[in-house]
A and B are shown apart, each in its own frame.
Chain A
Amino acid sequence: MSGGARPARWSAPLIALHWLTGVLILELIAHGWIMLHAGLSAATTFDLYQSHKSISFVVLALTAARLILRFSRKAPPKPAAARWENVLARIVQAALYALTIAAIASGWLVVSTSPLPIPTRFFDLFVVPDIARPDPALFAAATLAHDIAAWSIAGLVALHVAGGLKHHFIDRDDVLTRMLPRWRWANRPHGA
């Protein structure tokens, strides 16, 4: 992170992981809302719960890989923006990492402490172990935490996207394009 030359762009694996987890996190939020509020049948709802849990474990693994990559290489230089803007951007980015892990951990806790233990079958391949015993009080707390984390992520993603678009269209810098795959943008000059 500190010292040495900063790369101009994010590394290709990090870019891939960024967009992949981004899409999957949005999917999980929509998925969670649908399975709770769309009024579907019990069978469909059960299947949606199972796929929600399976996808979230994929996101957990991808996020862990992403954190390792993120801190094993230097980040591109900070954009020339106001200090508070850079601080805010960094807080939002850090919060997205933290809340992603918090949402998945609390969801895992919800599943584990549920008074009705339902085995989590990871894409019907194997059963993911529980991390706690059934406990109604902990279940209620974990459910609340999961809800708060999910809605916070939704809000922060909006802020994160707004920030990226602001850099691209108002500041006209490379903050957005250096996170885009090279095959599309390699031959185009970025910035003003």
Chain B
Amino acid sequence: MIATPGMLTCRMTMEAPVTRVELLKQIETPHPALRATFSRIGRLKTPVFRRATREKGKPLARLRERGWGERYDSSKPQCAANSRRAARALLALAFLQPPAPAFAADNWRIDSARTTIAFSIDAVGFPRTEGRFRRFEGRISVDFDHPNRSSVIFHVQSQSVDVGSPSFGDYIRSAAFLDSAGHPSIDFVSKSVERTDDHTVRVTGDLTLLGVTKPIAVDVVVLRGASGGRQRLEFHAETRIDRLAFGMNSGYPLVSREVDLKISSAAEQI
């Protein structure tokens, strides 16, 4: 995730074939040295570059409209983005695994061992249920100069819910609550990030639970620190969602409609 303006614009306007998008997704940001090389390739407009960037079945004119094949001009965001994309496509074609990704100041790797996605829910005549999700993946992109260009995406495997008892977990995974068989993923995709004070940002985004997508807003405390010469970030967020809004009605009102979420994460600069 590179939060440069050009990149974002191109991403949004490009109607890339599915295969290409998948290819791009698989590739990490290239090493600075490789990146320079591939920028040069883009600039030279060599046949290799053309082959790599040609999209099967697309008229050349439409590609040109989007900046493909134009003289490389680093001030044009589309060109910069295309060049980067070309570099990645080449990497994929060559089956090259990039070396340890390290260049963008706004890329952070989530430390899964220090990330918890926990929830708790109250019930009448039953103790408060507390649990957490063990398997998830997420990406955090932070731009301190332009907080609104930051983003966060989390995909949580509903199957991985852990409430401290296997049979209780099976029940939570059943159709009564998480319906893990029908809805394996719980997703959060941020839409906007705005700074509210020195340590807090308000992240607004879409939460998809049981296939129902609803907007939610979460206040996230962001703490900066360093460990071992590396920049570290810590995130703490607490919010409350209404499970009925997502169609999770089981046991209401015996089981309360409010679910408290507590998410904390740590990320290291890469």
Contacts and interface: CB of A to CB of B under 8 A. Distances in A.
Given A41-B164, A46-B168, A116 B127 contact: no
B171 A46 contact: yes
Contacts of A7: none
A116 B251 contact: yes
B171 A118 contact: yes
A47 B251 contact: no
A42 B255 CA distance: 12
Contacts of B164: 41-44
Most chain A Cβ neighbours within 10 Å, of B126, B164, B168, B174: B168
Contacts, number: 46
B227 to A, nearest CB: 34
A45 B126 contact: yes
Contacts of B251: 115-116
Interface string A121-155: 10010000000000000000000000000000000
Interface in B122-137: 125-130
A189 to B, nearest CB: 52
A3 interface: no
Given A115-B251, A116-B250, A43 B165 contact: yes
B255 A116 contact: yes
Given A115-B251, A116-B254, A116-B255, A46 B167 contact: yes
A97 to B, nearest CB: 30
A39 interface: yes
A41 B129 CA distance: 8
B218 interface: no
Contact of A50 (B125, B130, B167, B254): B167
B44 interface: no
Contacts of B255: 116
B120 to A, nearest CB: 9
Contact of B127 (A45, A115, A119): A45
Q: How large is the interface on A (under 10, 10 to 19, 20 to 34, 35 or more residues)?
A: 10 to 19
Most chain B Cβ neighbours within 10 Å, of A41, A42, A119: A42
Nearest to A117: B176
A75 to B, nearest CB: 42
B167 A40 contact: no
Contacts of A42: 126-130, 163-164, 168
Contacts of B128: 42
Most chain A Cβ neighbours within 10 Å, of B163, B165, B171, B255: B165
Given A41-B127, A117-B176, A118-B171, A46 B254 contact: no
A121 B254 CA distance: 21
Most chain B Cβ neighbours within 10 Å, of A50, A116, A119: A116
A119 B165 contact: no
Contacts of B129: 42-43
A166 B259 CA distance: 57
A173 B24 CA distance: 90
Contacts of A36: 125
A15 B126 CA distance: 38
A44 B129 CA distance: 10
A25 B174 CA distance: 31
A121 B126 CA distance: 19
Most chain B Cβ neighbours within 10 Å, of A41, A50, A117, A121: A41
B165 A46 contact: yes
A45 B163 CA distance: 12
B170 to A, nearest CB: 8
A46 B129 CA distance: 10
Contacts of B254: 114-116
A118 B254 CA distance: 13
Query: What 3 A-B pairs are tightest by C-beta distance, nearest first?
Result: A116-B251, A43-B164, A43-B165
14 contacts: A40-B127, A42-B128, A42-B168, A43-B129, A43-B164, A46-B165, A46-B167, A46-B168, A47-B165, A114-B254, A115-B251, A116-B254, A119-B171, A124-B167
Given A44-B164, A118-B171, 12 more contacts: A41-B127, A42-B128, A42-B163, A43-B165, A43-B168, A44-B165, A45-B127, A46-B163, A46-B168, A50-B167, A116-B255, A117-B176
